[in-house]
Structure 1
């Protein structure tokens, strides 16, 4: 079977390196202008050159997002930005605005163009239309079911890309005005404040100031929230439909998310491509995805559904991301950089590329000056002695106790919701 591309997010240079290390065939990232994830790390021109060297150095591809919808006064700024990008060997631009597409074709006509999910492409004739406009690949709307994808594949010859994992949106492929209305930050200009994740209540008009939870629950409700997409269980059907690229959502997610999710889909896609008839999913793959912060998973959407909402949309996460291996000494010791606080005598687990997993009972740590330390803080660097050889880019995590109280977002230190 031909190799199906695995496309992973790269919110910054660190995440890009891990995405490549953990098996991505291509990465997508945003420059300093006109991307749709402004709060995520963005890449200046020098950083883009460095990212290209990393990606192309290991035979992978790099796509740049230019998928914001522009206002009339921004077109001259776009033209200048495209001129500055022309010397770079980017593998494709990801666009959604037809005006942006037309300017790319005028200024940089040799550049490959991919259509963003933000364009809400939901049928075969639409894909064919975009192909006639010079689009090489269409990232289909996240609102599509597996049956929809199969039908579209039969109706177009353009390359097709579909999301396999990550957040869904309350609005059609992110075309949402909620953030702009509540905060002044436009989702369609890359500054979404994600108010669909906030907790809401209702007010009866004759009782101003009294807030009633919509559900009988002490937490209130997340009225606009949706489930997360996880198409691991449906991967054979998705790949058999003829999809060319499987995309992981999450440029604003953590290092741990990028590594853990990418390595699972790398293993699953490789197994299916090697033997579609005899393919059997490894139970470890789904168990690994459950160890990453996520809302309840859904593997497919009903045809015609814009998003799926559930009463219980709390984040789940069974493990905490603790540290990343930054260096390996000649004597086997590893220098790790903390992401969450942990003790030097804890039971942890190491994960690495190719689904490599190793239990590790820690037995002491030394700081960079060689002094013993018992508690490792976020961003601190300490030397540890592992029970087996490790590699730069390996990650340390620990299982979270059932009564952990507040849930932390993948080591980001942000309180999300109570247990």
Structure 2
């Protein structure tokens, strides 16, 4: 059997904090998306879905041969389980492909009160060995999202010893706490991170101060804008290690970021879709393209590393001191329509841009081109020299055909 025949194509799984992001992720290549419902999730501010929005999202996904999963991975306290049975039945009946859960109580409720709804184990449950995966298999779960602390060697060992589906994070923010189980937010802002209220205390800026009684505080480091003290981890990117992930049996490539923008979701889904397709087409001659790496840096908010896959992160995987790489692009608009006769595109503005700016258009399938803004017109067809108002509609000539849903960005 050849390498190509033996390998299974992994699912590209993208985050979708809103219905708009769901549709964007799928258009840009995601095989599946994960969303939050109105309860039991860990992103209370992520624009979670109503049942009606879920139904629309599921219909859109099915039309594009994609799946929708719902994260219900909170740690429950007494009374938090009230209504869970009805919640899971609604998810099942609306057509959700699986629910992602960490709390054993919610797993039991889902299995008994919503039979037929597949259950995936959340990364919050810290699955780090194949015996754990086998345990959850006996409990009826078909997929496990591995703890982010698992190494690539451990992924290989897990795959050799179990047939449970493996989902693993391959891109996005890394939580400083083990498998995301943090209580900093509880103590510092009285918001329970494990019940959806994380205030991201680890991302705050810290310093060392003297606090004279009755006086103003003064920095003892006098570091200005430099960040000397940090609990903030760099982000993960595994774009350069697609072969390792596929050859070691990862079934689903999970991208973090339900609170990120459609710029982020579209770009990252586009890149990993292209990389997976390229590898599966010819694994023996696969090469990671520099353009994929460059593309991911266009939406990176922090520096990038490989997490725990190849070594234990050190101080080099922490954010402190001067920024070693600064994001260079910002999202400025999206294409709503294109007139093939006039070569004019109708655009919804997302950030300020103006005449003379060099902008980049990109779309699904890694279609890119750049041009200079030479003309713009408002909704009254009046010539304008800048687009300053959020979400305003405008038209402009484009040098290549574009499609609805294509995105526009410019270098900062």
Residue equivalent to 2:377: 366
| 1:318 partnered with 2:328 | yes
Residue equivalent to 2:176: 170
8 Å CA contact retained: 2:346, 2:394: yes
| 1:393 partnered with 2:399 | no
Residue equivalent to 2:308: 301
8 Å CA contact retained: 2:340, 2:401: no
SS of the aligned residue for 1:277 comes to helix
What TM-score comes out, normalization by structure 2 length? Answer: 0.92
Residue equivalent to 1:184: 190
Q: 1:375 aligns with which of 383, 386, 398?
A: 386
Q: Report how many residues are paired.
A: 400
Q: CA deviation at 1:342?
A: 0.7
Residue equivalent to 1:3: 9
Q: Provide the rounded CA distance (Å) in 2 between the counterparts of 1:217 and 1:333.
A: 47
**Aligned pair in 2 of structure 1 residues 253, 297: CA closer, same or farther (>3 Å)?**
same
1:256-295 → structure 2 map (5 Å cutoff): 256-295=263-302
8 Å CA contact retained: 1:325, 1:334: yes
SS of the aligned residue for 2:408 comes to strand
Q: Provide the rounded CA distance (Å) in 2 between the counterparts of 1:246 and 1:85.
A: 23
Q: Provide the rounded CA distance (Å) in 1 between the counterparts of 2:345 and 2:409.
A: 15
Q: 1:78 aligns with which of 84, 91, 115?
A: 84
Residue equivalent to 1:235: 242
- Residue by residue over 1:283-308, the C-alpha shift from the partner in whole angstroms, topping out at 9 and shown as x without a partner, is 10101111113211112426784884
8 Å CA contact retained: 1:150, 1:241: yes
**Aligned pair in 2 of structure 1 residues 80, 302: CA closer, same or farther (>3 Å)?**
closer
8 Å CA contact retained: 1:365, 1:374: yes
What TM-score comes out, normalization by structure 1 length? Answer: 0.90
Q: Provide the rounded CA distance (Å) in 1 between the counterparts of 2:111 and 2:204.
A: 40
Q: CA deviation at 1:89?
A: 1.0
Q: 1:115 aligns with which of 101, 121, 135?
A: 121
Worse-superposed segment, 40-49 or 80-89: 80-89
| 1:327 partnered with 2:337 | yes
CA RMSD of aligned residues (A): 2.1
SS of the aligned residue for 1:391 comes to coil
Worse-superposed segment, 123-132 or 326-335: 326-335
1:54-203 → structure 2 map (5 Å cutoff): 54-203=60-209
Q: CA deviation at 1:220?
A: 3.0
**Aligned pair in 2 of structure 1 residues 303, 355: CA closer, same or farther (>3 Å)?**
closer
Q: Provide the rounded CA distance (Å) in 2 between the counterparts of 1:306 and 1:105.
A: 37
- Residue by residue over 1:268-291, the C-alpha shift from the partner in whole angstroms, topping out at 9 and shown as x without a partner, is 111111121111111101011111
8 Å CA contact retained: 1:213, 1:221: no
SS of the aligned residue for 1:161 comes to strand
Q: CA deviation at 1:167?
A: 0.4
| 1:347 partnered with 2:358 | yes
**Aligned pair in 2 of structure 1 residues 84, 167: CA closer, same or farther (>3 Å)?**
same
Q: CA deviation at 1:327?
A: 2.2
8 Å CA contact retained: 2:271, 2:292: yes
SS of the aligned residue for 1:200 comes to coil
**Aligned pair in 2 of structure 1 residues 45, 235: CA closer, same or farther (>3 Å)?**
same
**Aligned pair in 2 of structure 1 residues 183, 306: CA closer, same or farther (>3 Å)?**
farther
SS of the aligned residue for 1:7 comes to strand
**Aligned pair in 2 of structure 1 residues 215, 90: CA closer, same or farther (>3 Å)?**
farther
Unaligned runs of 5+ in 2: 1-6
